[in-house]
Structure formats: structure tokens, C-alpha cells
Structure 1
Amino acid sequence: MSTLPYRSALIIGAGSGISGSLTRRLRAENIPVVIAARNVGKLSALVDETGAIALPVDASDASQTAALFAETDKRIGAPEIVIYNASGRVRGAIAELDAAEVERAVAVSAFGAFHAVQQAARRMIPAAKGAILLTGATAGVKGFALSAPFAMGKFALRGLAQSAARELTPKGIHVAHFVIDGAVRSGQRADPPDAPDSTLDPDAIAQTYIDVLRQQRSAWAWEIELRPWVEKF
């Protein structure tokens, strides 16, 4: 039996990192999980391991997001947890960036999150219950050189989270934004031998998401910052 107050979950922008760790934690709580990405083939190992359901989506497309939620409704019921992990990134000097690529990056990071939050709210408001978790980054509070599109998208995501929290929290819906302030550990990005825990462990990140989902409504957090102990503020 689950120790969480929710019965179903949808993760958009799924992959092997944070989303993979979240999928494992939620499935360990016996919560059915749909994981969605543009390329569902990359999710096959996670599906085999956890029994999650993989569905395709271009998160920046409103009609595809609506279809994803409708299919999720059929497969596991209306999702009571919605986690948005998708983001778009294009690097380069402002004077040289391709405007179409910038538009695409911002559409994935920010406009796609709006589509997801809107679809989630339409289901959660009548039930007066639900949790919407949005994965942000350092770029959402500090824009770096040569990374304007990522900063634009993540700043917008943080604004969406803050606005949605103020609107939806009184309706019984927990909205939380997570500032992932540092590099996330992976098979391609391991800690140096002389600097243990200098990257964020995705399992530790997932644990924090789970802890937020367990929060009692008299003390809900709307934003959490996570950083390795060596990361500078």
C-alpha cells in the first residue's frame, strides 16, 4: 500500500535520470505511472524494470499533450501527480542564435509546461486534489552567458509555478517548483574520485520530490532548491 496521498502519476519529459529515479520510487509505492517522451524507445529499459507505461508526446504541442492526458486517463485514471521534466536548450551567442531554435527551446521548457499544468488543473480542480511538480534549474534564477534560451524558458517555468501555486493551492492542489542547482550525476557524468557528492544524485533528488508529495497541506512548500554541498550560491 502506498504511503503517498495520491493514486496515479504522469511524468512528462521522461528519461533515465531524475525521471527514472522518480519512476522507480513511485512504482515502489505501488502507484501506476505513465512516462512520456518524444522518443519512447529510450524508455524501454525503464518500462521493463518498473512496469511503467510509456507514451509518446511532443510536450510543446497542445494537441499532443491533450491526447497524452486523455490516453493516461484511459490507462491509469486521471493523474493525481503530474511531473514536468521536459526542457529545451540551445547554446550560443545572442547575436548568432537561430530564432527558430530559440522559439523551439522556449516552447518545450515553458509553453509545454503550461499545456501540462492546464490539463492537470482541469482534472484536479473538480477533485480538489492533486500535485503538480515542475523541474527547474539554476538558469531559472540566474541566466548564464551563451545560454539565453534556457534561461528564458526556465524563468518562465518558475513564474508559471508561482502563479499556479497561488491560484491552485487554495483549491487543494499542491504546486511545487524544484530548482536543480548543479549538475545531475549520470553514467556519462560521474563524480571525480577526489570530489565525492559534487554532483546531484538523481535518487536523492527523487527522494526530495517524494518528501514534498508527503507534505501536510498546512505546510506546503511551493519551491525547493537542491544543490550539492560544494555548489556555490
Structure 2
Amino acid sequence: MMRNVTTSSSSTRGIAAIVGVGPNLGRSVARKFAHQGYTVAILARDLGRLSRFADEIAREEKAQVYAIRIDCSDTQSVIEAFEGVLSLGFVEVLVYNAYQPIPLQYGGSCNFSDVRLDSFQKSVAVSSVGAFHCAQQVLPGMVERGRGTILFTGCAASLSGGTGLSEICCGKFALRGLSQCLAKEFYPLGVHIAHVIIDGVIGASRVVKVPQRSLVGEQLSIGGDGSMDPDSVAETYWYLHIQPRAAWTQEIDVCPPSPRFS
């Protein structure tokens, strides 16, 4: 199911498809690409909430925004959703930001024997299998045109396992491997594929400004609880998309200032 929210402004660029749009990072990434002149397709399971985000972004950025329902754990849902996305035109940018929340706070503990198989399978499906299907939908068009960007969102669990984190770690480990494999195969064909490690908590608002500049020359904002501002993190996704081909980044770590970097 697809809902179109549009304004009088029309884009001369391709489509930016943002999969896994929630109230923080996904919405900020979608807003950034809309601001830069892209027609944006935002995808998630909750079409009602997604449509509200589309209304907001379209109004603020005077952009064309399409809300499309997707369940990344369901292959047929991914195929149907991207039939709608591809009907809009050439998908120049794919951001895969989907993951399956687990009822466990990071750093907590959980007995492995308590993990349900269906929950484990769904988490792996959303984190990695869904990314596989989404990439397969857009890569043919990118290869045909010799350009395009695919950005996968990872996290600290992409790099290191931990007690009680088998569900998210296995899916995110696989996503990182997928990103590396696709990068090596498609870099020569003009497609930039990168993995973004979000090493910290992304909040909803700016509270504290710190005198540290990001890769794109903007201040990184952190909340009083140490969370990162999603609009600042979204700048990294834009930076990766516009990188010159002669020096593409395959993996980047985004984190708030902390003592371990001092």
C-alpha cells in the first residue's frame, strides 16, 4: 500500500528510498534527502505513522514524499513494496535502516535458552535477509546507469557479540558481511555501498552543543543523556552519498564524544 504526499515542487533527481523509517534517524535521513531535492519513498510497517511523517517532510521541504508499507521479514511484502518504489522512477539511493527491536536493553543479560526461535529468525530476517531483498530490487537499475548509493545501518552489535544479544548480533553481523561483499562486486560498476556503524544511542532532540566538527563540517549535537541528534547523524549519510568516486568509504563509525576518544 502506497500513499503519496506531494507539493508543487518537483524533483529533477532520482528516488531516495529509506527503509525502516521511525521517529528518529530514519525520519531525519528522509528529510535530509528531501531537502537536497530528491523524491523520497519512506518505508516501514506502520503506514499510519509513516503517512504522518510523509506529511511533515513534504510540508517542511516542499518535496514529493511517498509512504509505502513494508514488512522486511516477509519476502513478498518487500517485492510488493518495491514494485511501488520502482514505479516512481530510478532509485538512486537506498538506505536500509530496518531492524527488529528485542525486549532487552543493551548491556542487559538474558539466558540463551530463553531466546525463542521465531524471535531469533525474525530478527535475522529483518536485519539481513530484508536488506538482501531490498538491494536486489534496486541494483539492476543502478548498474544499468553506472551510478547509485546503498547505505546499510549497523550498530556496535555489528562488530562484537555480547550476553543476551544473539538475536540482534547475528543479523547485524550478516548485514555487515553483505555490505562488504556487495561493495567489492559493485564498486567497479559505479555503485557506492557503505556500512554505517551507529555506535551510540540516537535521541530525538538537541540539548548540548559540543565543539567538535563532523566529517561534513557541522557540529555534532548530543543530548544531555549522551544521545546523538538524528539530524546530525543524517549528515553522515548525505556525505557518503556525495563522496567522490575516487575515495569512497566502505564503512564508517558514528558516535558521540566520549572519554575513549580523548
TM-score normalised according to structure 2 size: 0.80
Which of 118, 135, 139 is equivalent to 2:157?
139
CA-CA distance at 1:162 after TM superposition: 0.4
Letter in 1 for 2:144: P
- Does the Cα contact within 8 Å between 2:43 and 2:68 map onto a contact in 1? yes
The equivalent of 2:61 in structure 1 is: none
Q: How far has the Cα of 1:209 moved from its partner? A: 0.6
Corresponding residue number in structure 2 for 1:64 = 77
CA RMSD of aligned residues (A): 2.1
Tell me the distance in 2 between the aligned counterparts of 1:106 and 1:190.
Answer: 34
SS at match of 1:112: helix
**Pair 1:89-2:101 in alignment:** yes
Quick one: distance in 2 between partners of 1:165 and 1:57? 25
**Aligned mates of 1:164, 1:7 — CA distance in 2:** 21
AA in 1 matched with 2:112: I
Confirm whether residue 209 of structure 1 aligns to residue 222 of structure 2.
no
Task: Quote the residue 2:216 is aligned against.
Answer: none
SS state of the match for residue 132, structure 1? strand
Asked if 1 retains the 8 angstrom alpha-carbon contact of 2:13 and 2:39, the reply is: no
Pairing of 1:19-168 with structure 2 (within 5 A)? 19-51=26-58, 52-74=65-87, 76-90=88-102, 91=104, 92-168=110-186
8 Å contact from structure 1 (residues 182, 231) kept in 2: no
Residues 8-32 of structure 1, C-alpha deviations (whole Å, 9 max, x = no match): 2101111111111111111111210
Unaligned runs of 5+ in 2: 1-11, 59-64, 105-109, 209-222
Counterpart amino acid of residue 89 in structure 1: P
Deviation of residue 111 (structure 1)?
Answer: 0.6
> Which SS does the other structure have where 1:162 is aligned?
helix
Q: Structure 1, residues 27-62: CA drift from partner, whole Å, max 9, x if none?
A: 111210000111111123321112221011111222
Q: Which amino acid aligns with 1:136?
A: G
* Aligned match of 1:11: 18
Query: For this pair of structures, how many residues does the alignment match?
Result: 225
Q: Is the 8 A contact 1:6 1:130 kept in 2?
A: no
Question: Which aligned runs of 4 or more in structure 1 are off by greater than 6 angstroms?
Answer: none
Q: In the superposition, relative to structure 1, how do residues 162 and 6 fare at CA in structure 2: closer, same or farther (>3 Å)?
A: farther
Shift of 1:108: 0.5
Q: Report deviation, 1:122.
A: 2.1
Which one has a larger percent strand, Structure 1 or Structure 2?
2
Equivalent-residue separation in structure 2 for 1:42 and 1:57 (angstroms): 13
Q: 1:91-143: per-residue Cα shift (whole Å, max 9, x none)?
A: 43211111111101110011111111111212211121110000000000011
TM superposition shift of 1:89: 3.4
Q: Is the 8 A contact 2:13 2:37 kept in 1?
A: no
C-alpha separation in 1, matches of 2:24 and 2:177 = 24
Aligned-residue sequence identity (percent) comes to 35
In structure 2, distance between residues paired with 1:118 and 1:72: 13
Q: Against the structure 1 CA distance between its residues 6 and 154, is the aligned structure 2 distance closer, same or farther, given a 3 Å change threshold?
A: farther
Deviates most, 82-91 or 111-120: 82-91
Task: Measure, in 2, the Cα distance between the counterparts of 1:103 and 1:34.
Answer: 27
Q: Is the 8 A contact 2:17 2:94 kept in 1?
A: yes
C-alpha separation in 2, matches of 1:70 and 1:190: 40
